[in-house]
Chains A and B, each alone.
Chain A
Amino acid sequence: MSDMGTFQQLRSSIKTRRKVSVALRLILAVFLIIFSIFPILWVLSASLNPTGTLATQKLIPDNPGFGNYTELLNSTQFPFWTWFGNSIKIATITAVLSLSITTIAAYAFSRFRFKGRQTMLKGLLLIQTFPTLLALVATFLMISQVGDIIPFLGLNTHASLILVYLGGAMGVNIWLMKGYLDTVPRDIDESAMVEGATHWQIFTRLILPLLRPILVVVGLLSYIGTYGEFVLARVLLKSNENYTLMVGLERFAGAQMSQRWGVFAAGALMGALPIMIIYLILQDLIVGGLTTGAVKG
């Protein structure tokens, strides 16, 4: 015979324990959230603080205003819109071209069987582990030599930077796309093949529409990665009006961070905003892509 009294007691005690546990976890969440958004709030506050230096900043500024933003947007030495435009342009072109090139290559790796396929796939992976920082010397020399012959592909051009980004992203993206393509059943191609379709037709009309989700993820990750890159951009771009936003911010930070901290904060916040919005809107999509193997941080 079940003792209803004890059962009730047990249930209410489980309920209380659950409530306590949820409350504790919510308190923990508050601390974690403070840890995670404090720097952002701090920058927001700095950008609204009219005194504009690092030393005089408080979390809630005395006379908040948009002075730093006006200064930022009217500054010739800190041409925010030019830099921002450069970054958007370079990231967009890189993402689109990189997607096109790697998807086509990945299709071949996934669907064709040819001599050297395995070696090439393994090679792609191994090559990616080479720390490319030092390859900068070679890349720099190469771009400057090419520029002696074809000036619009030389140093201080966006075209050269885009080409270098494209070359660097190939290996990882080909693997990502190939992995996804392998999960698309081959029956689809085979039946189309029987109908007499060429590979190109199969790829563009059948496979490509199926790839849309992964295309969006890889494209976004490539976009975000390019937007945030600064080492290559800093070495290859020379003049103020050609800088990407990251290079501009880094230079600015090196020169006068603590005096013009408010202006820097305004620039940093506005520069971070587009990417934050993309992430927060497309959270679920990107998380799916992350677990398939792209790494940041």
Chain B
Amino acid sequence: MASSASTNIPQKPASSTNPALPRLVRLALLVIIDAAIIWFLNRLVTLGYYPLAAVFLVILLFVNVVLLRQEAYPLRWMIVGLVLMTLFVIYPILFTVWVAFTNYGEGHLITQEQAVDQILQAKYLPETGKAYSWTAYKSPDGSYALWLKDAEGSTFLALPGEPLSQPQPGEAGIGELDDKGIPKTIEGYQRLNAIVAATDKNLTQILFGEEGTTIQVRSPSEAAELLPLYVFDAEADAMINQQTGVVYSNIRGSFTSPTGQQLRPGFIASVQLQNFKDFFVSPALRGPMVRIVTWNFAFAFFSLLLNFSLGLLIAIVYNEPGFPFKKLIRSLLIIPYTVPALITILIWRSMLNPELGVIDRALENMFGWAPPWFTDQLWAKVAILIVNLWLSYPYFMLICSGALQSISEDYYAAAQVDGASPWQQFWNITLPLLLVAVGPLLVASFTFNFNNFNLIYLFNAGGPPIAGTPTPAGHTDILISYVYNLAFSGSRGVNYGFASAITIVIFFIVGTITLFQFRYTRMWEEVSENV
């Protein structure tokens, strides 16, 4: 191997550890990358996307350190992978962790800054304050204009959505003034007499002037400028209603009055451990949560047990060398595994369809009864286990037949000498040795099924529903599909905060199982020994 290798590789003096050309190329590349990321960062900050900007800042620093420092040479080999992982795996995880400690969700989707801006838009018509006397004009198409006169005698023309102006007669269609200094006509409008104007219900609804200084008709004799309804007291972190004087203080992302009234919109705020408390102790959620967690473990366990048992059975039964049609049988039996899961789940869903599906029709014809696969909680669970069995047994068949090959014949020969029955041979030789070989794959399969969102979601979306739960939950929901309902279905309002908290609980469960598996398979030690 070594001699053939030497012919392939151009000879180089051993001293040239760091050739100049690659170095220049690397520096040029770095300059281009830096320029691109800095431009991008600048745009992110301008648009106010701070968390993402922080991630790119970290990436920028990391790329520079790795490409400039000689000690970081090994990392240059994995830099693309690490950057992609940071963006699409680590950042989303950190985001989820952050969200788990907030009330992010329906009614709390924006930042406090944005919410304050929105609330400060609200205006009210003060009882006192700067007032004008007014005269109204109406156009044939139903729009209005106001002629205003303030206490000092200055006059203004006010139109909805336009700034106040001070035109003289002859300008902007203003006609001749009458003896009170009010235009007799305005082009395009008809002057309303005082009684008609005072009884015109539309008139009091209209906001004149542009945003910021809006004027509204307050009484038959007066129009007044609207004032902001709320003032934000940053120090007290509270909104004060200018009309009533009520103080709305910030309680968990909503400005709330002492009587419990909340201002809309709310905003994202920290709720500390509340989401986790809800998960573990909330009495309203306790019922469905206990059911979901129990079924989640049961589902993963029974799936593994059934799928592995059938796979192993097939592997053992057809393991014998020279069994007729062995290859054909195997090819036909792995077919379920070769179809994309989404397609098979949808096919099963239609085959088990009540009334219309083939299985239900066949059972109806034979027994006059078919299980209610979608409406009864027990049968729904059975159906899911059957579908999962169909999806997964070929996988176990494949890995088991692979592992069976590796068990030495000597064990069986020795057992036969001792007169062990086939049954005893199975329990005492085959199974233990097989479990050693495929153990890690079984654990991986358990954790996969523990989070088998696709199956639950595509088959029946967790149905049938559990009655009377505060958030929608079904009898076949597992944690991850329940999380999906909370975060995305939104029929009773999305709740990312709570959904994220459950995600973290799942992570701890699955992470613990995985760590246990590493211990068991000594993967950790393997990593250490190699160093």
A residues whose Cβ falls under 8 Å from a Cβ of B: 22, 25-26, 28-29, 32-33, 35-37, 39-40, 42-43, 54-55, 57, 59, 101-102, 104-105, 107-109, 112-115, 117-118, 121-122, 124-127, 129-139, 141-142, 145-146, 148-150, 163-164, 166-168, 170-171, 174, 182, 187-188, 191-192, 195-198, 201-202, 205-206, 224, 227-228, 230-231, 246, 249-250, 253, 257-258, 261, 264, 268, 271-272, 275-276, 278-280, 283, 287-288, 290-291, 293, 295-297
Q: Does B230 contact A (CB under 8 A)?
A: no
B522 vs chain A, min Cβ distance (A): 13
Determine whether the beta carbon of B503 is less than 8 Å from that of A131.
Answer: yes
CB-CB under 8 A for A33 and B398, given A101-B80, A196-B14: no
Task: Choose one: A109, A132, A166; the contact of B78 (CB below 8 Å).
Answer: A109
Task: Choose one: B9, B332, B510; the contact of A201 (CB below 8 Å).
Answer: B9
Determine whether the beta carbon of A228 is less than 8 Å from that of B342.
Answer: yes
CB-CB under 8 A for A295 and B333, given A22-B323, A54-B350: no
Report 25 cross-chain contacts, Cβ distance below 8 Å, ordered by A residue: A29-B318, A108-B77, A112-B73, A115-B71, A122-B524, A129-B511, A130-B89, A135-B93, A168-B89, A171-B89, A188-B5, A191-B1, A192-B5, A195-B5, A230-B454, A231-B454, A246-B342, A253-B346, A272-B340, A275-B339, A276-B339, A279-B337, A279-B338, A283-B331, A291-B438
A162 vs chain B, min Cβ distance (A): 11
Q: How far is the CA of A79 from the CA of B78 in the complex (A)?
A: 39
Q: How far is the CA of A141 from the CA of B43 in the complex (A)?
A: 16
**Interface 1/0s, chain B 216-242, versus A by CB < 8 A?**
000000000000000000000000000
Task: Choose one: B13, B96, B341, B445; the contact of A137 (CB below 8 Å).
Answer: B96
B404 vs chain A, min Cβ distance (A): 11
A83 vs chain B, min Cβ distance (A): 13
Q: How far is the CA of A171 from the CA of B514 in the complex (A)?
A: 14
Residues of A within 8 A of B346 (CB): 249-250, 253, 257, 264, 268
Determine whether the beta carbon of A113 is less than 8 Å from that of B351.
Answer: no
CB-CB under 8 A for A29 and B329, given A55-B356, A228-B340, A279-B334: yes
Residues of A within 8 A of B341 (CB): 228, 296-297
Residues of B within 8 A of A182 (CB): 530
Q: How far is the CA of A33 from the CA of B527 in the complex (A)?
A: 43
Q: Does B411 contact A (CB under 8 A)?
A: no
**Interface 1/0s, chain B 328-362, versus A by CB < 8 A?**
01111111111111111011111101011110000
Q: How far is the CA of A206 from the CA of B5 in the complex (A)?
A: 7
Q: Which residue of B lies closest to A57 (CB)?
A: B358
Q: Does B52 contact A (CB under 8 A)?
A: yes
Q: Does B369 contact A (CB under 8 A)?
A: no
Q: Which 5 A-B pairs have the closest CB atoms?
A: A167-B88, A135-B92, A191-B2, A105-B78, A108-B77
Residues of B within 8 A of A122 (CB): 524, 527
Determine whether the beta carbon of A130 is less than 8 Å from that of B93.
Answer: yes
Residues of B within 8 A of A206 (CB): 5, 8
Determine whether the beta carbon of A137 is less than 8 Å from that of B78.
Answer: no
Determine whether the beta carbon of A275 is less than 8 Å from that of B340.
Answer: yes
Determine whether the beta carbon of A145 is less than 8 Å from that of B390.
Answer: no
Determine whether the beta carbon of A28 is less than 8 Å from that of B334.
Answer: no
Residues of A within 8 A of B256 (CB): none
CB-CB under 8 A for A40 and B445, given A192-B2, A290-B398: no
Q: How far is the CA of A167 from the CA of B86 in the complex (A)?
A: 8
Task: Choose one: B317, B445, B500, B524; the contact of A134 (CB below 8 Å).
Answer: B500
Contacting A at CB under 8 A, from B358-410, are 358, 388, 390-392, 394-395, 398-399, 402-403
Determine whether the beta carbon of A28 is less than 8 Å from that of B317.
Answer: yes
Determine whether the beta carbon of B44 is less than 8 Å from that of A145.
Answer: yes
Q: How far is the CA of A272 from the CA of B401 in the complex (A)?
A: 25
Determine whether the beta carbon of B506 is less than 8 Å from that of A36.
Answer: no
Q: How far is the CA of A124 from the CA of B6 in the complex (A)?
A: 35
Task: Choose one: A129, A132, A135, A149; the contact of B44 (CB below 8 Å).
Answer: A149
Question: Contacts A32-B314, A135-B93, A148-B47 given; 17 further ones with Cβ under 8 A?
Answer: A36-B335, A102-B81, A112-B77, A115-B71, A133-B480, A135-B89, A136-B487, A149-B47, A228-B341, A258-B350, A261-B350, A279-B337, A280-B334, A293-B440, A295-B441, A296-B337, A297-B341
Q: Which residue of A lies closest to B340 (CB)?
A: A228
Q: Is the interface of A mostly helix, strand, loop or mixed?
A: helix
Determine whether the beta carbon of B78 is less than 8 Å from that of A149.
Answer: no
Q: Does B206 contact A (CB under 8 A)?
A: no
Contacting A at CB under 8 A, from B303-342, are 307, 314, 317-318, 323-325, 329-342
Q: How far is the CA of A145 from the CA of B314 in the complex (A)?
A: 51
A279 vs chain B, min Cβ distance (A): 4
Q: Which residue of B lies closest to A97 (CB)?
A: B80
Determine whether the beta carbon of B514 is less than 8 Å from that of A126.
Answer: yes
Residues of A within 8 A of B333 (CB): 32-33, 36
Q: Which of B49, B78, B335, B402 has the most C-beta atoms of chain A within 10 angstroms of its own C-beta?
A: B78
B346 vs chain A, min Cβ distance (A): 5
Determine whether the beta carbon of B527 is less than 8 Å from that of A121.
Answer: yes
Contacting A at CB under 8 A, from B70-110, are 71, 73-75, 77-78, 80-82, 84-85, 87-93, 95-96, 99
A174 vs chain B, min Cβ distance (A): 7
Q: Does B499 contact A (CB under 8 A)?
A: yes
Q: Does B491 contact A (CB under 8 A)?
A: no
Residues of B within 8 A of A272 (CB): 338-340, 343
Q: How far is the CA of A141 from the CA of B99 in the complex (A)?
A: 13
CB-CB under 8 A for A167 and B85, given A122-B527, A291-B403: yes
Task: Choose one: A25, A191, A246, A264; the contact of B323 (CB below 8 Å).
Answer: A25
B383 vs chain A, min Cβ distance (A): 13
Q: How far is the CA of A37 from the CA of B10 in the complex (A)?
A: 56
Q: Does B518 contact A (CB under 8 A)?
A: yes
Q: How far is the CA of A235 from the CA of B398 in the complex (A)?
A: 33
Determine whether the beta carbon of A114 is less than 8 Å from that of B480.
Answer: no
Task: Choose one: A37, A107, A167; the contact of B77 (CB below 8 Å).
Answer: A107
Q: How far is the CA of A149 from the CA of B71 in the complex (A)?
A: 35
Q: Which residue of B lies closest to A146 (CB)?
A: B52
Residues of B within 8 A of A168 (CB): 88-89
A201 vs chain B, min Cβ distance (A): 5
Determine whether the beta carbon of A104 is less than 8 Å from that of B350.
Answer: no
A33 vs chain B, min Cβ distance (A): 5
Residues of B within 8 A of A22 (CB): 323-324
**Interface 1/0s, chain B 191-215, versus A by CB < 8 A?**
0000000000000000000000000
Residues of A within 8 A of B21 (CB): none
Determine whether the beta carbon of A101 is less than 8 Å from that of B503.
Answer: no
Residues of A within 8 A of B13 (CB): 196
Q: How far is the CA of A156 from the CA of B499 in the complex (A)?
A: 25
Determine whether the beta carbon of B344 is less than 8 Å from that of A39.
Answer: yes
Residues of B within 8 A of A261 (CB): 350
B108 vs chain A, min Cβ distance (A): 14
Q: How far is the CA of A40 from the CA of B514 in the complex (A)?
A: 35
CB-CB under 8 A for A54 and B357, given A40-B339, A129-B510, A272-B343: yes
Task: Choose one: B47, B329, B392; the contact of A145 (CB below 8 Å).
Answer: B47
A192 vs chain B, min Cβ distance (A): 5
B421 vs chain A, min Cβ distance (A): 15
A227 vs chain B, min Cβ distance (A): 7
CB-CB under 8 A for A170 and B323, given A114-B74, A131-B506: no
Determine whether the beta carbon of A295 is less than 8 Å from that of B92.
Answer: no
